[in-house]
Amino acid sequence: MRARLLDGLLSGALLVLLAASLGALVAPAGSADAGSAAEDAALRAAYRRPAEPPPAPADNPTTAARAQLGRRLFFDPSLSSTGAMSCSSCHQPAHGFSDGLPLARGAGGKALRRRSPTIWNLAWAPFLFWDGRAEGLEAQAAAPIEAHEEMGQPLEALIARMGGDPAWRAAFAAAFPGAGPAVTKDNLVRALAAWERTLVSPRTRFDAWVEGDDAALSPAERRGLSVFNGPAGCATCHEGWAFTDHAFYDIGLPLRPGAPPDLGRGPVLGEARADHAFKTPTLREAMRRAPYMHDGSLPTIEAVLDHYAGGVVDRPTLAPELPRRLALDARQRADLVAFLDTLTSAPDAALPEMATPPAAPAPPPGLAPVARARVSQRNRQFAPLRVALVPGGTLEIVNDDTTAHNIRIDSPDLQRNSGIQDPGQTVSWRIPTAGRYVAFCGIHPKMRLEVTVAAP
Report which of 205, 279, 201 is spatially closest to residue 242, judged by C-alpha positions: 201
Residue 137 to residue 27: CA distance in whole angstroms: 41
Compute the C-alpha angle 4/5/8, nearest 5°: 90
Mapped onto helix, strand or coil, the DSSP state of residue 277 is: strand
CB of 35 vs ligand HEC, minimal distance in Å: 18
Should residue 22 be labelled a site residue for ligand HEC when binding is judged by CB under 6 A? no
Q: What is the dihedral of CA 384, 388, 392, 395, to 10 degrees?
A: 10
Contact criterion met (CB below 8 Å) for 342 and 204? yes
Q: How many CA atoms lie within 13 Å of 96's alpha carbon, on the beta-carbon side?
A: 24
Q: What single letter denotes the amino acid at residue 41?
A: A
CB of 4 vs ligand HEC, minimal distance in Å: 24
Q: According to CB under 6 A, which one of 47, 172, 206, 278 is a site residue for ligand HEC?
A: 278
Q: Which stretch binds ligand HEC (CB under 6 A): 19-27, 50-58, 137-145, 168-176?
A: 137-145
Neighbours of 51 (CB within 10 A): 6
Q: According to CB under 6 A, which one of 42, 158, 232, 427 is a site residue for ligand HEC?
A: 232
Site size toward ligand HEC, by CB under 6 A: 52
Contact criterion met (CB below 8 Å) for 206 and 218? no
Q: Which residues contact 51 (CB under 8 A, 6 or more apart)?
A: none
Should residue 71 be labelled a site residue for ligand HEC when binding is judged by CB under 6 A? no
Enumerate residues 413-452 that contact ligand HEC by CB under 6 A. none
Should residue 60 be labelled a site residue for ligand HEC when binding is judged by CB under 6 A? no
Enumerate residues 97-116 that contact ligand HEC by CB under 6 A. 104, 106, 112, 114, 116
CB of 282 vs ligand HEC, minimal distance in Å: 8
Nearer to ligand HEC, 125 or 407 (CB): 125
Should residue 240 be labelled a site residue for ligand HEC when binding is judged by CB under 6 A? no
Report which of 167, 275, 231 is spatially closest to residue 25, judged by C-alpha positions: 231
Q: According to CB under 6 A, which one of 35, 144, 252, 442 is a site residue for ligand HEC?
A: 144
Query: What is the number of residues in the chain?
Result: 456
**Residues contributing to the site for ligand HEC (CB under 6 A):** 74, 85, 87, 89-91, 104, 106, 112, 114, 116-119, 122, 128-131, 137, 140-141, 144-145, 150-151, 192, 196, 232-234, 236-238, 249, 251, 253, 278, 280-281, 283, 286, 289, 292-294, 304, 308, 319, 321-322, 336
